[in-house]
A and B are shown apart, each in its own frame.
Chain A
Amino acid sequence: MISLPHTPFIIVIILYFISSVWSIGSIVKPHAFNRKVVKWSMMMGFFIHSGFLVFLGFESSNIPITNVYESFISLLWCILFVYINLDYLYRLPSLDTFLIPVVTALSLWALTFDGGNLLITVHLQNFWLIAHIIPIFVGYAAFTISFSLSIMYLTQQRQLKHKLFGPLFNKLPSLEGIDKLMWKTISFGFPLLTLGLVFGTFWVKTQNILGEMWYLDYKVILGLATWLIYAALLHMRLVASFHGTKIACLTIAGFCLVLFTFIGTFFMGSKHAFQNVNEQSHTKILHIQ
């Protein structure tokens, strides 16, 4: 059951859902679905989302990543924060139709982690943690946007290839335009991911938070795989100057790996600085100053 303190997040999800429906509707039936609703409900959702994070932070007197649920909400906040800024800078047409439903779906998924059975085991007021988490979260956010852009690219590519000229065809920008944006978001996210991983490694090496065999942690392995896939993408684009469908498909694969690294590893038993609540009584929480 969803506990009462999480009601704001439910409202956020409802607002994102409305925004998603309207963003799709505004393409199919522009007269019936006003574009303003898309923006306003998203912004309102984001506003409450931000407020909720502040509330969570105050409640635990820490940055809101004390359990998987909070981390997920923080990541979603980062995605929207990066999107809103990018949209302001580059005026990304119709991207909301591809991004907000993804955010809504992820928000619903995040809700299933409520219950906080995985608690963080490290001291949160730690420089290394911040240095590790924030760049990675912003990087992931950029990759989520590049994922939405790839879906957009493949949709437009399919429409052009199969000569399907529906309302979506007219609304979407050119393939080249989407390709450039995809590239911009990846090249923005990659250095951040690298930075986050470097800090993480430094942290784990110096302060021994994942034990001696830290490199066998699923999250560490998959984090490296994510880094490699984006490095490959960058290499293909920069050195071999690859464009088009292949890049779009690889971006999608990259995002799947991001999701899997972020959430999937918990199902595989990786705790990666989180710990089951019921184990708590037996284990002393690690405090690292």
Chain B
Amino acid sequence: MSILVVGLNHKSAPVEVREKLAFNANNIPTALSCFLQKYQKAEAVILSTCNRVEIYVSSLDGAIQAEDVLSFLADFHKVELPVFSPYMYHNKDGRAVNHLFFVTTSLDSMVLGESQILSQVKEAYTIASLQESTGKVLNQLFQQALNVAKIVHTKTSIGKRKVSISSVAVEFAEKIFQDFTGKIVLVVGAGEMCELLIKHLYEEGARTFVVANRTFERAQELAHTYHGQAIKYELLGEYLAKADIIISSTSAPHYVIHTQQIKEAIKHRRGNPIFLIDIAVPRDIEPDIAKIDNVYLYNIDDLQSVVSQNIDERTREIEKCRSIIEEEVEHFMAKLEEIKIEPAITLLRNHFHAIGREELNRLKPKLKNMQDGEWEQVVYTIERTINKLLHHPAKVAKQEAKNGGGYRYVETIKKLFGIFHHTDHPQH
């Protein structure tokens, strides 16, 4: 039984190639059943996100090679093999397991420590198991991978700090306001960055948005999306005192919000704090505003420096993650060896018991006078003897399997006792 991963990601392939091989939730089940039709005793999981397409395969003694998966991909997506094969990577067994653990814990992601990949892996696995394309090996592997991700996220701070401007800004807002319900968010400008911030605030519970923009239509459009209110740009001053959070991102070459305005606003607000986020370059909000009591002003550099610090912090955690993963890969490989050896041990047991039954059948006619109760004792004794005889070899074989040498033992025993049939197929 071996594990293979074949795939490509944002580091190995440009988007033009990735999009050619991408699967969606609708065609993954079809792809999986096509694959299983072709390779009947295999197990497979397809992981397809915007940054990666990977197929995890488990087959008997490495029956399926990377080339087989590549040609399957070419056939399924009707893409010429040379178009994508240079961008593909593949890993086997321990390295494949290591790769999946890296992916699930987001060490292989574009944004280190992101948690979205975890749910994507979970979904990929769920689809595959519903399609019955996973067996003992991949079930164990994916459950372990999800588990490892959880361990890594709790034991390290890889995913703790926010690493985008908008999420950092929202985090600061949360340190000023207990919650966003009933808070008024004034948005000046209607750019992409503003929209991201509004989206984040909306997700955290903010519901009252007032949008002011030079182009009123654009303000209306943005306000409409988040059930807010669009105001004429000229009315901006009137709303300053009402707003708890002010986001500014206009392309104006001069300051849009002035110290005097905020001084007056804070007087009206009687010390209720105002949080100002200036994400415009050149800046929109007069920097002196930061000196006013109960006013908190953050510009793009303030936010960016926190983002960089947080990214550094996540990067520092990589080594810790790696060592956890290494340990977990070792555990899994030991478990895999045990899985591998189980069918062989069953085979051995069945063989011995078959001999036992055969001998009992031969003996029974000769002991006609024996009572039922006595005969049961004989059968019980024979079975017990066989189990006792096999107990120790099975235990040793399992133990040895964890070190990677168990299979050899079983092969030897099989040879010695003349058991030649292979029955260790995956159990769905």
Most buried by A among B176, B271, B290, B293: B271
Report the separation of the CA atoms of residues A247 and B270 in the bound assembly, to the nearest whole angstrom: 11
> Counting CB contacts under 8 A, is B72 at the interface?
no
Which residue of chain A lies nearest to B160 when distances are taken between CB atoms in the complex? A170
Q: How large is the interface on A (under 10, 10 to 19, 20 to 34, 35 or more residues)?
A: 20 to 34
Please pick, from B174, B178, B271, B296, the residue contacting A161 in the complex, using a CB distance under 8 A: B296
CB distance from A247 to the nearest CB of B (A): 7
CB distance from A176 to the nearest CB of B (A): 4
CB distance from A240 to the nearest CB of B (A): 6
Report the separation of the CA atoms of residues A172 and B178 in the bound assembly, to the nearest whole angstrom: 11
Task: List, in ascending order, chain A residues with CB within 8 A of B273's CB.
Answer: 175-176, 243-244
Task: List, in ascending order, chain B residues with CB within 8 A of A180's CB.
Answer: 178
> Counting CB contacts under 8 A, is A246 at the interface?
yes
> Counting CB contacts under 8 A, is A188 at the interface?
no
Task: List, in ascending order, chain B residues with CB within 8 A of A91's CB.
Answer: none
Interchain CB contact under 8 A, B178 and A176 = yes
Task: List, in ascending order, chain A residues with CB within 8 A of B177's CB.
Answer: 174-176
Encode contact with A along B292-315: 1 for CB under 8 Å, 0 otherwise: 011010100010001001000000
Report the separation of the CA atoms of residues A103 and B178 in the bound assembly, to the nearest whole angstrom: 27
> Counting CB contacts under 8 A, is B38 at the interface?
no
Interchain CB contact under 8 A, A242 and B176 = no
> Counting CB contacts under 8 A, is A156 at the interface?
yes
Which residue of chain B lies nearest to A241 when distances are taken between CB atoms in the complex? B270
CB distance from A162 to the nearest CB of B (A): 10
Say whether, besides A160-B296, A245-B293, A174 and B271 are in contact (CB < 8 Å).
Answer: no
> Counting CB contacts under 8 A, is B172 at the interface?
yes
Interchain CB contact under 8 A, A244 and B294 = yes
> Counting CB contacts under 8 A, is B272 at the interface?
yes
Which residue of chain A lies nearest to B303 when distances are taken between CB atoms in the complex? A163
Task: List, in ascending order, chain B residues with CB within 8 A of A244's CB.
Answer: 271-273, 293-294
Which residue of chain A lies nearest to B298 when distances are taken between CB atoms in the complex? A163
Encode contact with B along A161-175: 1 for CB under 8 Å, 0 otherwise: 101010001001111
> Counting CB contacts under 8 A, is B175 at the interface?
yes
> Counting CB contacts under 8 A, is A115 at the interface?
no
Say whether, besides A160-B172, A161-B290, A165-B306, A242 and B270 are in contact (CB < 8 Å).
Answer: yes
CB distance from B285 to the nearest CB of A (A): 15
Report the separation of the CA atoms of residues A172 and B306 in the bound assembly, to the nearest whole angstrom: 18
Which residue of chain A lies nearest to B272 when distances are taken between CB atoms in the complex? A243
Task: List, in ascending order, chain B residues with CB within 8 A of A161's CB.
Answer: 290, 296
Interchain CB contact under 8 A, A247 and B175 = no
Interchain CB contact under 8 A, A243 and B176 = no
Interchain CB contact under 8 A, B272 and A160 = no
- In the complex, which residues 181-234 of chain B have their Cβ closer than 8 Å to any Cβ of chain A? none
Interchain CB contact under 8 A, B302 and A247 = no
Which residue of chain B lies nearest to A163 when distances are taken between CB atoms in the complex? B302
Interchain CB contact under 8 A, B271 and A246 = yes
Interchain CB contact under 8 A, A175 and B293 = no
Report the separation of the CA atoms of residues A199 and B324 in the bound assembly, to the nearest whole angstrom: 66
Interchain CB contact under 8 A, A243 and B270 = yes
Interchain CB contact under 8 A, A240 and B176 = no
Task: List, in ascending order, chain B residues with CB within 8 A of A242's CB.
Answer: 270-271
Most buried by A among B174, B294, B298: B294
Most buried by A among B175, B272, B306: B175
Report the separation of the CA atoms of residues A86 and B298 in the bound assembly, to the nearest whole angstrom: 34
Say whether, besides A161-B290, A243-B294, A173 and B178 are in contact (CB < 8 Å).
Answer: yes
Task: List, in ascending order, chain B residues with CB within 8 A of A169's CB.
Answer: 175
CB distance from B2 to the nearest CB of A (A): 40
Task: List, in ascending order, chain A residues with CB within 8 A of B298's CB.
Answer: 163
Report the separation of the CA atoms of residues A177 and B173 in the bound assembly, to the nearest whole angstrom: 12
Task: List, in ascending order, chain B residues with CB within 8 A of A246's CB.
Answer: 271, 293
Encode contact with B along A103-128: 1 for CB under 8 Å, 0 otherwise: 00000000000000000000000000
Please pick, from A163, A165, A247, the residue contacting B271 in the complex, using a CB distance under 8 A: A247
Please pick, from B174, B176, B294, the residue contacting A245 in the complex, using a CB distance under 8 A: B294
Task: List, in ascending order, chain A residues with CB within 8 A of B309's CB.
Answer: 165
Report the separation of the CA atoms of residues A174 and B178 in the bound assembly, to the nearest whole angstrom: 5
Interchain CB contact under 8 A, B175 and A156 = yes
Task: List, in ascending order, chain A residues with CB within 8 A of B296's CB.
Answer: 160-161
Report the separation of the CA atoms of residues A226 and B146 in the bound assembly, to the nearest whole angstrom: 59
Which residue of chain A lies nearest to B244 when distances are taken between CB atoms in the complex? A176
CB distance from A14 to the nearest CB of B (A): 33
Which residue of chain B lies nearest to A181 when distances are taken between CB atoms in the complex? B178
Say whether, besides A244-B294, A245-B293, A160 and B270 are in contact (CB < 8 Å).
Answer: no
Report the separation of the CA atoms of residues A169 and B294 in the bound assembly, to the nearest whole angstrom: 17
CB distance from B413 to the nearest CB of A (A): 49
- In the complex, which residues 75-112 of chain A have their Cβ closer than 8 Å to any Cβ of chain B? none
Report the separation of the CA atoms of residues A180 and B177 in the bound assembly, to the nearest whole angstrom: 11
The 4 closest A-B pairs by CB, nearest first: A244-B271, A243-B271, A244-B294, A177-B178
A-B contact pairs, 8 of them (CB 8 A): A172-B175, A174-B177, A176-B273, A243-B270, A243-B272, A244-B272, A245-B293, A246-B293
